[in-house]
Structure 1
Amino acid sequence: MPRTKRCFLCVRGLALLLCCLGCGRHPQPLTIAVVPESAPEQIWLDEHAGTLRAASHHGVRIYWNAPDREGDVQRQISLVEQVGDQKDAGLVLAPAQELALMLPVRRLLDRHMPVVIISSPMTLPPRPNLAYILNDEDQTGAIAARAIGSSLHGKGSIALLGINPFQSGVTLRLRAFEAYLHREYPAIRITDRRVASDSFSSEQTAAEVLAATPRIDAALALDPSSAIGLYQAEQQQPTRHRITIIACGQDASLFALLKSGFIDAYIAQDSYTMGYQAVDAILRMRQGLPVPARVALGPIVITAANMHDPAILARIANIPDEPL
């Protein structure tokens, strides 16, 4: 056999071998990292469910990791830094503290990684690979003010619990609440304001509020811990009169408190939709498609009248069978 023909057959055989080897391989799906504030809270479990639903629709993977406890900012920073090392396709982040997360997020953006911030905004300048999907805090504050104002028939005194200056979302919510209350219900006075506290001290804070003179007619709990603190304080020293309690947050305990009749309503972020839309936005960024720089999702208002509605239950995870 001539040498030229032998070389041709060798090259052809090698090509066929490589083709056969390649036919057995499948491209690995993209992996999108999701880093919420903490693992055990219901709001982030709902977000996780939304990201998984979007991932199944788009054929991508979700790498979900979170600090084990609330407020562990250093752990969240470490997880965000790992996202860059793992070279994931994008990041969905719910920042626990804006200033602390600013530098690691900026580094990812500088490396052209798509990033979607959910739940609480950050003051990062607009970029093609950055988007926000947030709760409509103006609407949340207005809903809370309207609920309390209507319950009190436009007059009385209230307390605010769970004020957190480090959470821009809570600050915006509080500002909207006060603006609506002063405009629509000027005869309602805010007589007590308390900053956010952990689960260990929230009961003591709530007990002080309930025991204060003059007594309050209603309370707005800006986070679940404050609502739980009010419940625990009430169990220890029952008050002589019932007060209206509106809570903000997304926690299984709030559903239990509503079911027991202790709170009148709670206003939750639509974190399921946030998670779904965040994954969709990252994939659109990777394809070079336009993505809205900022989306504000309307909150979910949960009351005794709609708490068993299938449309509500489908967006809330881990509901307990019995009240606290």
Structure 2
Amino acid sequence: MGKLLAVRARRITKCFGEVVALDGIDLDVAQGRIHGLVGPNGAGKTTLLGLLLGLAVADSGRLEILGTPVGRGAAAPDGVAGFVDGPGLYPSLTARQNLAALAALHGRDARTAGIDDVLDQVGLSDVADDRANGFSLGMRQRLGLAAALLTRPRLLVLDEPSNGLDPAGKRHVHRVLTRLAAQGTSVVLSSHRMDDLEALCSEVTILATGRVVFSGPLSKLAAENRELDYRLITSDPQAARLLAADTAGIRVADDAGARQDGEVLVVRALVPALDELVARLVHAGIGVRELAPVVSPLEAAFLALTEALTEQQEAEQ
């Protein structure tokens, strides 16, 4: 039996006049997973999120959400919540009053709707009775997430939920999303923050000019398939440089951002060659203090895939 899907999209197309926003999109989002959506501005991310939330309908293709086919004129099924382009809030109402109004719209009693619980989950308990018009961008984002949680969704669709968040706010949001996924809720998360996506998502879809250029587990984007630049800090930088230059598959690069004392060594390699270098360093008694990609594997793949598609389209014109 195949995996259960919260979203199944096949050949989805959406146009706005002569502009093709989505061009034959396929998308699978498994139940209980956090699925990242990545792409440059104009790639079609917001349009796709709008389709999932029932804010628009596709021109062609087939879309199933939580097992229910969604067609022309049909809104997203119950169990879907989230926001696109920032949450819609009543600025003159307090955080608590905003959530009470939402509960009333869903026919629920504010006293039993779990308002205090969701405010606590997103870290807004201390400002529950403050008006939303005084909230920072990050606080508004967290209140929007609280509003979505109030409906107890089975599919949560979020557009840049980390926008404006300080470290504490981001920690709250990450904790909430991880717990929701563990409890079986599916999350589609659009973000320009590659660190957020790598920390949260088990699968990602990369869009460029309305097309899917990659969709699958993050592990498939790992550096085994492409060379990356790595920052290497060791106990003996000079010896490490000589050893790196003598290791097959390793290229030593100059790093404009390296420390003036030459402590940072930048090497370009595939993962197997990097593993060999680390083994040789350890064998030589050289301590490895830091080894990290200069650019994350997800960001590197994103840049490579989107640039390749752009070059292909330019060549076709």
Normalising by the residue count of structure 2, what TM-score does the alignment of the two structures yield?
0.26
Normalising by the residue count of structure 1, what TM-score does the alignment of the two structures yield?
0.26
Whose helix fraction is larger, Structure 1's or Structure 2's? 1
Which structure has the larger Rg over C-alpha atoms? 1
